[in-house]
Amino acid sequence: MSLLKDIEPKNVFRFFEEICAIPHGSGNLDAIAAYCVSFAKDRNLQYIHDEFNNVFISKPATEGCEDSAPLLLQGHLDMVCEKNMDSDARFDFAKDPLKLAVMDDYVYAKGTTLGGDDGIAVAYMLAILDDDSIRHPALECLFTADEETGMSGMSSFDCSVIKSKRMINIDNETEGEVLASSAGGRKVKCMLPVRYHESSGLAYDIVICGLLGGHSGSEIDKYRGNANLLMGRLLHHLRGKINYELYYLKGGLQDNAIPREAKASVLIDEKDSTRFEDLITEFELNIISEYRKIENNITIYSECRGTISTSVLSPKTQERVIFLLMTIPDGIEKMCPEAQSVVQTSSNAGIVRLREAYFEVIISIRSSISSEKRALSDKIQYLTETIGGEFVVESDYPAWEYRERSRLRDLVSSCYMELYDRHPKITSIHAGLECGIIFDKVKGIDIVSFGPQIEDIHTPKEKLSISSTERTWRLLLKILEKCIDE
């Protein structure tokens, strides 16, 4: 039974619900891409489905609108897959449909991310392509793959097929904003070789959880706690006060999400158990005090697992792991001099993993200035290699640069004014958008980005505003109508 069938705009939410029933985490897009292809075939629309799972669907202009310039609509197929540590452990993003729910003005998914970023863009585009009563110029709809893990889909897409010189990206999550530029980004991996030896002792798990997390671009300026680096601080806090040996360390799920949870496991002498637990409590109280105006649910605790024998890190290896976590740049590096409310350069240590042969940290670097992006990357590389590690750049994408003049931006602003009796806020975003790649590939293309209100993206608290979705739908239809006259 459909949960969203009576919610307006009905066709948009019908497609959104169908999308949510199809697993579509980054790297797992075969099914959702096939769904889009089937949609195009059923409506006799021309399409391209490339080897990277990008899908490009074209629809001719409405009769009488053939002389209007074509318009490109764009959004990405993949979603960030995050769930709470204490949620249903059996939920599998690779095969299970999202468990949708509605409360007041919001749609959300129980215990997991919703994927409104960017499932609502996909739903909007499908609803427009599906409705022959909507007047519009020739439309090109580009559904890109793996945006959340480095924008590899857009980077690999053959943009020579695009005829449009104006584009609407539907990947902003703040209603009332029209984006005019976005940051470039780089995903890097730091790998430290590790050595183990056998040891015995009283085992403890250390857990940091309850942090807000969030999008490492749009919410990095909120100074939320990073669970991975807090764990590094905690391990350093213990150092010198008590002897322990580290044998497990894991935190974060996505490089572009501020990590909410981290876990470490250590061995200690049984005689030190009371002191150990007191040190954990002391650290928790310090962190709660530090973040009292930012985080309201931080929990740091330890659990005794009994006496065991296992492989633990060698003392020198353990020291290097903690050193890296204590010194790696994280958070805001520089604010924009022209607009102090906008972040210019930042980094997010989103994933840490202690593996059999190495310890890895995966970091998302963002900057609207390409030289600063490279400089921060170089700093992290220098730090990693100085302590014997390996540094790899896994992906890189350009910034979408601001243009003083934009006819499309002016048109969108006037449509918003007509509908809501006020102008939208024209602004920039520190998050990376695929606009930067297409701006680089399709010379002279005029781009704007906007979308409905989505809160707490990249976290299990993510929720999509129903009323905002309807207002943004009305804006899209008004823009399509006005584009005919341009």
Please compute the mean of the pLDDT values over residues 439-468 and round it to a whole number.
Answer: 95
Q: Is 97 in contact with 192 (CB distance < 8 Å)? A: no
Q: What pLDDT, in 10s, does the model give residues 386-426? A: 999 999 999 999 999 888 899 999 999 999 999 999 999 99
Which tokens hold the place of 455?
A: 């809160």
Maximum alpha-carbon separation in the chain: 84
H/E stretch holding 344: strand 343-354
- Which has the closest alpha carbon to 446: 186, 185, 178? 178
**Cβ-based neighbours of 222, under 8 Å, separated by 6 or more:** 212, 214, 294
Please compute the mean of the pLDDT values over residues 434-455 and round it to a whole number.
Answer: 96
Instruction: Give the Cα-Cα-Cα angle 87, 229, 113 (nearest 5 degrees).
Output: 30
Fill in the DSSP letter of residue 245.
Answer: E
CA distance 51 to 190: 29
pLDDT at 240: 85
Q: What pLDDT, in 10s, does the model give residues 36-58? A: 999 999 999 999 999 999 999 99
Which tokens hold the place of 139?
A: 């439309």
pLDDT at 458: 87
CA distance 217 to 258: 9
Instruction: Give the Cα-Cα-Cα angle 304, 227, 88 (nearest 5 degrees).
Output: 65
Residue 133: how many other CB atoms lie within 10 Å:
5
- Which has the closest alpha carbon to 236: 326, 330, 302, 358? 326
pLDDT at 89 exceeding the cut of 80: no
CA distance 241 to 232: 15
CA distance 74 to 167: 7
| Paired sense of beta strands 343-354 and 262-268, if any | unpaired
Which tokens hold the place of 474?
A: 């009305």
Instruction: Give the CA dihedral 202, 265, 459, 121, nearest 10 degrees.
Output: -140
pLDDT at 86 exceeding the cut of 80: no
CA distance 44 to 358: 51
pLDDT at 85: 67
Give the bridge partners for 449, in sequence order. 169, 179
Q: What pLDDT, in 10s, does the model give residues 120-171? A: 999 999 999 999 999 999 999 999 999 998 899 999 999 999 999 999 999 9
Q: Quote the mean pLDDT of the chain.
A: 95
Half-sphere exposure of 336 toward its Cβ, with a 13 Å CA cutoff?
19
H/E stretch holding 143: strand 139-144
pLDDT at 297: 94
**Secondary structure class of 126 (helix, strand, coil):** helix
Please compute the mean of the pLDDT values over residues 178-184 and round it to a whole number.
Answer: 94
pLDDT at 72: 98
Q: How far apart are the first and last CA of the chain?
A: 43
C-alpha 9, offset from chain centre: 26
Residue 68 phi/psi, 5° resolution? -75, 150
pLDDT at 459: 87
- Which has the closest alpha carbon to 473: 7, 3, 1, 2? 7
Give start and end residues of each alpha helix (H) in 242-311: 273-290
C-alpha 425, offset from chain centre: 23
pLDDT at 224 exceeding the cut of 70: yes
Q: What pLDDT, in 10s, does the model give residues 372-384? A: 999 999 999 999 9
- Which has the closest alpha carbon to 144: 73, 80, 206, 203? 73
Residue 444: how many other CB atoms lie within 10 Å:
7
CA distance 231 to 87: 22
Q: Is 102 in contact with 110 (CB distance < 8 Å)? A: no
Residue 55 phi/psi, 5° resolution? -125, 130
Q: What is the pTM of this model?
A: 0.81
- Which has the closest alpha carbon to 14: 88, 151, 120, 132? 120
Q: Is 353 in contact with 344 (CB distance < 8 Å)? A: no
Instruction: Give the chain's domains with CATH numbers.
Output: 10-172+433-483 (3.40.630.10), 187-397 (3.30.70.360)
Residue 296: how many other CB atoms lie within 10 Å:
11
C-alpha 97, offset from chain centre: 20
Which tokens hold the place of 438?
A: 């297409």
User: Could you tell me the pLDDT band of residue 285, with boundaries at 50, 70 and 90?
Assistant: very high
pLDDT at 35 exceeding the cut of 80: yes
State the residue for tokens 């207002």: 471
**Secondary structure class of 102 (helix, strand, coil):** strand
Residue 354: how many other CB atoms lie within 10 Å:
20
| Paired sense of beta strands 177-193 and 425-432, if any | parallel
User: Could you tell me the pLDDT band of residue 191, with boundaries at 50, 70 and 90?
Assistant: very high
Beta strands in 368-424 (DSSP E): 390-397
**Secondary structure class of 290 (helix, strand, coil):** helix
pLDDT at 409: 97
Q: Is 116 in contact with 464 (CB distance < 8 Å)? A: yes
